[in-house]
Structures are given as structure tokens and as C-alpha cells.
Amino acid sequence: MKSAIIIITGIIFILLSTSAHAVAFGASPATLTFDIGKGDSLEKIVSVSTNSLTYVGVSYSISDEIKDLITVSPTSGLKTKIDEPLEITVTAKSSLFEELGSHMGTITFTTTPTENTAGGTGSAIATGVAVKVTVNIGTVKAVKTAAASGTKSISSGLMLAIATIVLLILAAAMFLTRPKKKSKKK
């Protein structure tokens, strides 16, 4: 009986002595808001971090609602570990023909294993974190934000639109004020 208890205690000790390590994974800030005009772009930084002692690979996906407005860099070699956060540049860029208003979506960052777990006692489980993204294009909020930041120049997109309108007005004025040809009667 004593030997059975010793064996069971030994087995329990061995099972409990194998350590499990939960890896935390996060992104900061949790939300990004871009206030831009048509044809403009703006960059912001997201810091992706972990408490893992070994490198954790990072991948990302951009939701369909904002995939045409958002780019992320770098695009390859993404990895992080404790005390080495990954700095990601997120750029919002709109075309001159982009729909005005607020466009909302997410960028989801996901862990990917970088080390082989074969022969080990554990397994790798991917985890992810979503950053909420709002892109305000040409809205009143975007104009107020630009004014509050002390912007003294017109955005390149707005300047191009104004120049196009002025040229069209000048062309129409020249067409309407051209001398009329006298018709010859036979």
C-alpha cells in the first residue's frame, strides 16, 4: 500500500512539474482614428507586444471595409518577444474619388509559431488581437481636426479639385466670349 502511494505521488509530481506557460499578446493603441481629406494620407504607429521569452511571429489581416484605405508596414519578418515590441506603421490613404464619410473596420494581429514544438511537451496555439480603425474622409470632424492642428495649407486633394474647377470655368468663359464668325450669305 505504501509503495502504491509513493508511485501515485511520484506520477502526480511528474505531471505537475511540467510547466505550462500562457503567452500574453497585445496591441497598443486599441483604436486608431484617421481624419483625412480626399487625396491625403496619414501614418500612425501600433505597438504589438508579448510576454514570450522566445520570438513569436506576427501576421495581420485588414477587414474588407477598410482594406482599400489602409496599408501596414513592414509586411514581412514580423516578430516580437518580451522587451522587443514590434512597431507597425499603419497608413490611411484616400483617393480623390473616395466616398466621403466614416469608414470603420479592424486590423487583426495574430501570433504564428516561430519555433518547432516537435519533441517538446507543448503545442503552439495562435492568438490574436484586433485594433479598431476609423477613417474619416472629408467629414466636418476631419476639417475641424486639420484646423485645430494648425494646418495652414490646403490639402493636396482639395487643391487639385479647386484648380480643376477654376480651369473648367476659364475654359467655359473663353469659349463663350470668343468672337463669332460672320456667316457669308450667298
| pLDDT value for 143 | 54
* CATH class held by domain 19-172: mainly beta
Residue 85, preceding peptide bond in cis (omega within 30° of 0): no
Which of 14, 70, 65 shows the shortest CA–CA distance to 41? 70
Q: Residue 115 has what pLDDT?
A: 60
Q: Tell me the average confidence (pLDDT) per consecutive run of 10 residues in the chain, 186 residues long.
A: 68 56 82 92 94 88 94 90 92 89 94 62 72 86 55 57 74 75 64
Specify the pLDDT at position 107.
96
Q: Over the Cα atoms of the chain, what is R_g?
A: 29
Domain ranges of the chain: 19-172
